[in-house]
Every structure is written in C-alpha cells, then in structure tokens.
Amino acid sequence: MNSKLNVESKSEELPVLVSREELAQQTAAFFARGIEGADNTRKAYQSDIAQLTVWLRHRGLPELPIDPATLAAYISDLAATRKWSTISRRLAAIRQWHRLNGHPNPASDEAVKTVMEGIKRSIGTEPEQSPAFDIEEYKACLARIPTTPTGLRDRALLLAGFAGGFRRSELVALNIESVQFTREGSILSYQGSKTNQYKKKEQKALFFSPDPDTCPVRALQDYMEVLGRNVGPLFVRIRKNEQITEDRLSDKQVARTTKAYLGEDYSAHSLRASFVTIAKLNGADDSQIMQQTKHRTRTMIDRYTRVQQVVKHNAAMKLGL
C-alpha cells in the first residue's frame, strides 16, 4: 500500500541581511572582545599601556610596534621599583596590545626572555599575601561600628564579604533582588567574576549566626530595611548627613571600608583570605571552602593558609624550651 507523505510548508522569517562591511566590523568587534579578556583585566591593561606610552614618549621612542631591545630596557627599568607580578602583567598587556593591532609579539624574543629570567632571579616571584585577621580581633572591630545607615551598610559589607568569601568586585556587583532569605540564612546570586568570564549564574550561602552582633544574615536584613527599595544595587554610596543614594559602591570603597575598621595593614582581599584561613584552621575541608570561594584549584587555598599553618601547626612548639 502506497502512502503519500504530506509536507506542510511553514513560513520562516528570513534573517536580516547585513552588508559585507557591517559584517566585517561586527566580526572585528567580536574578535577584539575575545582577546581583550575580562573587564577588570582590560582596565588594568589600558592603564599599563598608558604608563608605557608615557615612558616611550619621554625617551622619544615610537609607540607601536615596540622592538625587543626597547622592551628589554623597559622591563629592566620597571624591575628597579616594581614587583614581579606587576612586570608580568605589563608584559601581558604589551603582548595583547601588539596582538590587537596585528603586530608580532616582542616579548617572544629570546633576549627579552633572558632579561625576564634575570629579573626573576633577582627580585623573586613570590607575591605578597593579604594578611588574614584573627576572628576575635575581627569581632571586636565590628562591635565598634555605629548603627547609622552608613554603619549598617559597612557592617553588612564586612560580614557578607568575610562569610561569603567574596572578591570586592563581586560584592559591589550584588543587587537587592539577588538576595534571597531562607530559613537557614540567605542565598546571594551574582553573574560574572574573575574565574567566571561568561557570566554564568553563581550563588553563595550565608547562615544565621548565634550571635546577632556578628550575624551576616541579620546584618543584611538590617541594612536592606533602611534602603527602602526592592531592586537596584545592594551596596550604595551614602552621602553626608546619611543621605542614601542609588549609586553603586565602587570596589575601592570596599578597600577603604576594610582599612577604616580593621586597620591599614588589611586590604579588601583580607576578607576573602581570612575566610579561607579561618575556615581551614577550624576544620573545613578544601571542597567546602571552594564551594564558597569558587576557586577552581586548591593552589590558592594552600597559599592563603601557609603562613598561619607555619605558626599554628609547627613541631617547634613541642620542644619543651
């Protein structure tokens, strides 16, 4: 028995045709964005290139492309006052700058590599770690924060930053609508971070603490109550006379807030470093810590806790001296 297959024709929307020139521009824009990297990295690179061009202009040297001999002289000059991490980042910025403009990478020259090796042997590569605070010291600092709108914001910022193991860029990117309160505490959602460049949604959990004065969840509730809004930036600027704005707080303000209450020795990254260190010393395993910090490897966990372990887990304490 023969049967006929009836195929219904469906009208489909035809794509809007763009000109060859428009398509080329769009492709070039995507290409540039693809090799520029993360927003914060791009900003750092722009600053690095700006400083490089000043250096070149003062010496009457062409800006682009840079020849290997000039690059070797530049990084040698940097080594007199800069750390290895800064020099490495400047070199990466120069590499990207040449790549974006279609020039060969001068850093691949053997002479430049040899100079970099000499710098590494001379100044070392070990980065300085943000110091971690003692938990009792931290609680004492929190107790001194006033209950003004600014104080409520700062308390919530410091507690959420510490208990959530947040980077400062992640903290200031939070929105009010991204905070969900639960019976156990709260869930904070955000998109995009240093290790999440494709803006995949990530979440961190905060839990109620027995002590209301150091409870990150209650601190958030108290602060959000004075905001009087349901949407928009969570951590905002507060002007003189406690005038609350809707302007998102900058990541630099997180650093200033940390120093204002904890002391000049600490940085915004101390909140994250202290989370790792204190959690580790209190028995949390690496996978639990990484669930909160979103670290991809255990390398940074070990780096954060190494100094504290040298002091608190050392056989030299058991010599009977």
Query: Within 13 Å, how many C-alpha atoms sit on residue 163's CB side?
Result: 23
Q: Within a domain: residue 16?
A: no
Residues 95 and 210 in one domain: no
**Sign of the dihedral defined by the CA atoms of residues 39, 43, 44, 49, in that order:** positive
Of 93, 123, 153, which one is at a domain's C-terminal end?
A: 123
- Residue 86, domain CATH: 1.10.150.130
* pLDDT for residue 309: 53
Task: Give the angle 247-251-257 at the CA atoms, nearest 5°.
Answer: 95
14: in domain:
no
**At a CB cut-off of 8 Å and minimum separation 6, what does 129 contact?**
273, 303, 304, 307
Q: Are 115 and 149 members of one domain?
A: no
- pLDDT in the model for residue 1: 44
3-state secondary structure of 198: strand
Residues 205 and 98 in one domain: no
Residues 166 and 289 in one domain: yes
In a domain, 7, yes or no: no
Q: Please report whether residue 89 resides in a domain.
A: yes
Residue carrying the six token digits 């914060």? 40
Query: How many residues in the chain?
Result: 321
What integer pLDDT is reported at residue 245 of this predicted model? 92
In terms of domains, do 56 and 141 share one? no
Same-domain check for residues 259 and 215: yes
Residue 96 has what pLDDT?
86
Within this chain, do residues 71 and 213 fall inside the same structural domain, yes or no? no
Q: Is residue 91 part of a domain?
A: yes
- What range does the domain containing 238 cover? 135-315
Catalytic residue annotation:
167, 194, 269, 272, 295, 304
Answer whether residue 11 is part of any domain. Answer: no
Residue at a domain's end among 71, 99, 123: 123
CATH number at residue 191: 1.10.443.10
Per-residue pLDDT of the chain (321 residues; tens, 9 = 90+): 444 444 444 445 545 566 777 776 776 666 555 555 555 567 778 888 888 989 999 999 988 899 999 999 999 998 888 888 888 888 988 988 888 888 999 999 999 999 999 988 887 766 566 677 788 888 999 999 999 999 999 999 999 988 888 888 889 989 999 999 999 898 888 765 544 444 567 888 888 988 888 999 999 999 999 998 889 999 999 998 899 999 999 888 998 998 999 888 888 888 888 888 888 777 777 777 777 777 666 666 566 555 455 455 555 545 554
Domain count, the chain: 2
The verdict on 98 and 42 lying in the same domain is: yes
Give the long-range contacts of residues 309-313, CB within 8 A, separation 24 or more.
Answer: 309/281, 312/281
List the helix and strand counts (H, then E) for the chain.
13, 5
Look at residue 313 in the predicted model and tell me its pLDDT.
54
Same domain, yes or no, for 99 and 192? no
Residues 99 and 54 in one domain: yes
Tell me, yes or no, whether 6 lies in a domain: no
Asked if residue 63 belongs to a domain, the reply is yes
Q: Which of 86, 102, 123 is the last residue of a domain?
A: 123
DSSP class of residue 248 equals: E
pTM of the model: 0.62
Considering the domain architecture, whether residues 150 and 295 belong to the same structural domain is answered as yes
What are the tokens at 239? 């002007």
Whether residues 148 and 93 share a domain: the answer is no
Q: How far is it, in rounded angstroms, from Cα 86 to Cα 240?
A: 37
